[in-house]
Chain A
Amino acid sequence: MPSLPPGVIRKDFEDAIAQFQAVVGKEWVFTSDEDVDLYRDSYSPFWHEAEDPVPSAAVAPDGVEQVQQVVRIANKYKIPLWTVSTGKNLAYGGSAPRLSGSVVLDLKRMNRILEVNDRNHYALVEPGVSYFDLYRYIQEKGLNVFIDAPDPGWGSPMGNTLDRGGGHTPLRDHFSTLCGMEVVLASGDVVRTGMGALPNSHTWQQYRYGFGPYVDGIFTQSNYGIVTKMGVWLYPMPEMRFTGIVSVPKHDDLIPMVDTLSYLMNSNIVQGTTSVATSLRARARDPELIALRSKPGGATIPELEDYLRGKNLPYWSIELPFYGPTEVVPAQWAFAKRKFSAIPGVQFRDGASNRLPPSPEDLAKVANSVPLGAPSLAIFAALGPNGQGHIDLSPITPMTGEAVFELMDVFDKVLGEMGLENAYAVIAGTYYPRSFFFLFTFPIVHDVEKNRKTRAAFKRLVEVGAQHGWGEYRTHLAFMDDVANAYSFNNHALLRLHETLKDALDPNGILAPGKSGIWPKHMRKARA
């Protein structure tokens, strides 16, 4: 039998379960070990350890009224609820709670696509709708809209947006596509944000702000409410996607290269996710390069430049994505080339070119269809055939070449000390506007000792990153306190504000205790 929620006596728990069953039906309340185990984190860094979070039960309502009733029951018995939408937030906790003993509020059954509008390009969805579902719906109805999915397509537009995930195309910053929410508060009350608060409005998914304070952001990465409907903006179907590859020969060329990239991205000329590649990483196992780096004092930058020149390889390259009309995209690429031409020795190469929407034949030819607007699971191939899971560290840095040098210098040293040199998955990615996003992937395995070392390395990197001003944009359950603790300006003023909001909106602390380091008053530990 699963463990009880902390501080809840068995009689109250059983009464609450019986009342949940009366609301959603017995079939949709899960209490057996076998069923509850399905909610554990499949990529848990605590595999086979006592700290691996296990829920006490799961409840799966099928509508907002049922969610309201479940919340009221949870409030009556002070039972913590951990909400998931599709529950596929793998690498960040999946469908597992932060606090063992929480009841998972599984919203997967609320999977209605309420509207997709291809005149004004938006969708209104429930939590359980996946990117695959939305894509199929658009395909079946022949709608002229393009969706931006994160790498794994089984996630939900709602869940990914609430966790401020990112994708690959012009609308890749998913929080920026959010337009209107319906939220069940801890009291059981229902709020609609933005124009949804105006009963006769027809612009809930078209004008974000409504009137008064803009509150949508406080329901992201938080535990202040349960979002039951969300509007997301979609992109009008572009005519084509094209990539152009820019390469430069010298180490310091990265500085003007990134400045030019920044100009092009902030001008909306380059409109998708890209990242910086260095030929040195691709050649890391070349004995000649290993010998060069192993000599006393290591390799100097001129020596590395000579090595690459000898192989006819660039030091840095970037693949620029363009989306738009067939007449415009070539002009954007021509303009980008003109801007980069200021860098001596720069070279250009045409990359992939696809008409959109992609035909089934086109999709069959690409290893990852996500940049073409078709959700996929192709990213899991990156784990290798023996992969058992992963967690990701993703510091945010300024969009400058100097920041790339500094981060790689600092992290290379720490990663080297820990034997994790191969952790780089994305160098200087542009998942979000105006900044760089690095991604380090650490394998999770069914080996307690290895996972302990990984967790220690992860925490060390969060600390080292914070010392240099690089914060995480999102993190796994296991590191939420560490990451929140790093955002410590003025004696943790931001976290204190989060806690003030928590206490006001959820006085019994029933909603997702511990999410993003925000704990209810009665579970809050004294901060050092």
Chain B
Amino acid sequence: MTRTCLLLVLLLPIAGRAFAAKQSQADRGREVYQKWCTPCHGTGLGKPGTNAAAAHGLKPSVLEQRTDLAPKMIETAVRNGVYFMPRFRKTEISNADLTAIIAYLVHK
């Protein structure tokens, strides 16, 4: 076994654990997203966040379908609000929840 192979064998479990951690973070992010974000940003009728995004020409207008969301953009929206979307306090969406939402939206 070459030194490179040995290194790969040693690193694979670490990479696997990192991937699993990221995945579990994204899974948790999906749950938090569904609770806090879907009522406004989901699909179907009566979703004002989705409607507003469409009116502003954002495509796709459903946040979960976007591939251009940056972590800072999500954080700023949640903590500062955007248009009629209010700020969210840490008793509503904790920093850990926010990180999970970002993991879900950015790394899904």
Contacts and interface: CB of A to CB of B under 8 A. Distances in A.
A280 to B, nearest CB: 27
Interface string B37-61: 0011000111111011001100000
B45 A364 contact: yes
B40 A377 contact: yes
A88 interface: yes
B87 interface: yes
Interface stretch (A38-46, A163-171, A315-323, A500-508): A38-46
B55 A385 contact: yes
B45 A365 contact: yes
A389 B91 contact: no
Contacts of B19: none
B66 interface: no
A38 B52 contact: no
Nearest to A109: B91
A479 interface: no
B16 to A, nearest CB: 32
A383 B87 contact: no
Given A377-B39, A380-B40, A385-B83, A38 B88 contact: yes
Question: For this complex, into which size category does the number of interface residues on chain A fall?
Answer: 35 or more
A38 B87 contact: yes
A492 to B, nearest CB: 34
A35 B90 contact: yes
B52 A106 contact: no
Nearest to B86: A42
Contacts of B40: 377, 380
Contact of B83 (A154, A364, A386): A386
A43 B49 CA distance: 16
B91 A106 contact: yes
B83 to A, nearest CB: 6
A34 to B, nearest CB: 8
B83 A94 contact: no
Contacts of B81: 42
A493 interface: no
A106 B89 contact: yes
A397 to B, nearest CB: 29
Contacts of B56: 385
A116 B54 CA distance: 39
A94 B84 CA distance: 13
Nearest to B92: A108
Give the dominant DSSP class at B's interface.
loop
A39 B91 CA distance: 11
Contact of B86 (A34, A60, A90, A109): A90
B17 interface: no
A378 B48 contact: yes
A153 B38 CA distance: 12
Question: For this complex, into which size category does the number of interface residues on chain B fall?
Answer: 20 to 34
Interface string A359-399: 00000111111000001111111011111110000000000
Interface string B64-103: 0000000000000001010110111111100000000000
A38 B79 contact: yes
A108 B83 contact: no
B35 interface: yes
Contacts of B91: 28, 60, 87, 106, 108-109, 128
Nearest to B52: A385
Contacts of A437: none
Nearest to A133: B35
Contacts of A378: 45-48
Contacts of A94: 86
B45 A366 contact: yes
A132 interface: yes
Given A365-B45, A378-B47, A388 B87 contact: no
Contacts of A42: 81, 86-87
B52 A43 contact: no
A228 interface: no
B46 A366 contact: yes
A95 interface: yes
Nearest to A443: B84
Contacts of B46: 366-369, 376-378, 381
**Most chain B beta-carbon neighbours within 10 Å: one of A39, A379, A384:** A384
Contacts of B47: 377-378
Nearest to B80: A37
A89 to B, nearest CB: 11
Contacts of B88: 38
A132 B36 CA distance: 10
A132 B83 contact: no
Contacts of A380: 40, 48-49, 84
Q: Which 4 A-B pairs have the closest CB atoms?
A: A378-B46, A42-B86, A385-B55, A385-B52
Given A367-B46, A381-B46, 5 more contacts: A30-B90, A366-B45, A367-B45, A378-B45, A385-B52
Interface of B: 35, 39-40, 44-49, 51-52, 55-56, 79, 81, 83-84, 86-92
16 contacts: A28-B91, A35-B90, A38-B79, A38-B87, A43-B84, A43-B86, A86-B92, A90-B86, A365-B45, A366-B45, A378-B45, A381-B51, A383-B84, A386-B83, A387-B83, A389-B84
